[in-house]
Structure 1
Amino acid sequence: MNGWYTNMRFSAAHFIPSHFKCSRLHGHDYGVIVNVEGDMVDGMLIDFIELKNAIRSVINEMDHKLLVPAKANIARYDEERDEYEINYSNKRMVIPGEFVYLCDVHNTTSEELSEYIARRVGEKLRLKKNIRKLEISVEEGPGQGVYSEAGISL
């Protein structure tokens, strides 16, 4: 399923601290591409609406947010002010909490975002006994993405 055509897209800002050019705050319109493998039941592998709902439930949380890599330990949350202070490479940003999405990754690259989304969607689909494998690509533009795989097992 191609998210550019089926509206499985989101817009977000990010930065990659260790990469010179990409360490600057910038944004993308991301598209999510999905491949599913398994055994058909009654002539169907999965209901497309169910698959799209599972994906959208994850990406809607990220839409129009600043994606911050939680595993990089560069963000500190101030609960009293409801804001994040982000520090890396002699850069400092203070962002309102409502604008931030902490992503359970080391870097907010397409590679790690695809693994993250595949893992989260895989958790939502794990009760579907006929689905064995889920592949998700997060593209920063059409054709610029990397697939990650999530095995689906009970």
Structure 2
Amino acid sequence: SSVMVELVGQMKDNLLLDFGEAKKIIKEVVNVFDHKFFINRKYLKQEDDSHFQIQFEGPKGMFELQVPKNTTYLLEGEATVENLSSEIIKLLAPKMPSNVEAVGVYIYEGYNKGSHIISNISR
């Protein structure tokens, strides 16, 4: 998958945001998700200092697994590109300067498949 971030707002000193600063902020947030196993928080049954205990029912019955916390990201919904886009926006928005009014995230799953969500920043 690939991710593209769009920033919308008012120009300040002929820039919305310096590219180097934007790149640093975006990379920091996207790295939180890189190489992670995405799991809906509702499947979390227990956790200890280093692992999540996950339980869910699938077409072939009940499944239980233990996954390391450092390789897992818990989402508030199912692991879809739409929910992942929303989660990225949730983490990016507070890091944006006041002249950035909205953040958009595109996540591509393949040719002509993906998600685009844009959200105004509430301050």
- TM-score (normalised: structure 2): 0.82
Counterpart residue number, 2:55: 87
Aligned equivalent of 1:148? 117
Greater strand share, structure number: 2
Q: Tell me, what secondary structure is at the counterpart of 1:41? A: coil
Aligned position for 2:74? 102
When the two chains are superposed, the root-mean-square deviation of aligned CA atoms in Å is 1.9
Rounded Cα–Cα distance in structure 1 between residues aligned with 2:73 and 2:99? 32
Q: Secondary structure at the match of 1:117?
A: helix
Structure 2 counterpart of 1:40, one-letter code:
M
Q: 1:96 to 1:41 in 2, by over 3 A?
A: closer
Equivalent-residue separation in structure 2 for 1:34 and 1:132 (angstroms): 14
For 2:27, the equivalent position in structure 1 comes to 56
1:92 to partner: Cα distance: 2.0
- Which residue matches 1:33? 4
Within 2, Cα distance between the matches of 1:78 and 1:48? 39
Q: Deviations over 1:66-87 (max 9, x none)?
A: 11222xx11133316x322211
Match for 1:150: what amino acid?
A: S
Does 1 or 2 have the higher relative contact order (CA < 8 Å, sep 6+)? Answer: 2
Counterparts of 1:94 and 1:66, CA distance in 2: 12
Alpha-carbon distance between aligned partners in 2 of 1:143 and 1:42, rounded to the nearest angstrom: 36
How many Å apart are 1:143 and its aligned residue?
Answer: 4.0
Name the CA distance, whole Å, in 1 between partners of 2:16 and 2:103. 12
The one-letter amino acid paired with 1:121 is L
Counterpart position of 1:136:
105
Displacement of 1:61: 1.6
Partner SS, residue 17 of structure 2: coil
TM-aligned CA distance change 1:142 to 1:59, over 3 Å: farther
Measured after TM superposition, the shift of residue 88 of structure 1 is 1.1
TM-score, length of structure 1 as denominator length:
0.68
Same amino acid, percent of matched pairs: 27
Indicate conservation of the 8 Å contact 1:119/1:150, yes or no. no
SS in structure 2 opposite 1:107? Answer: coil
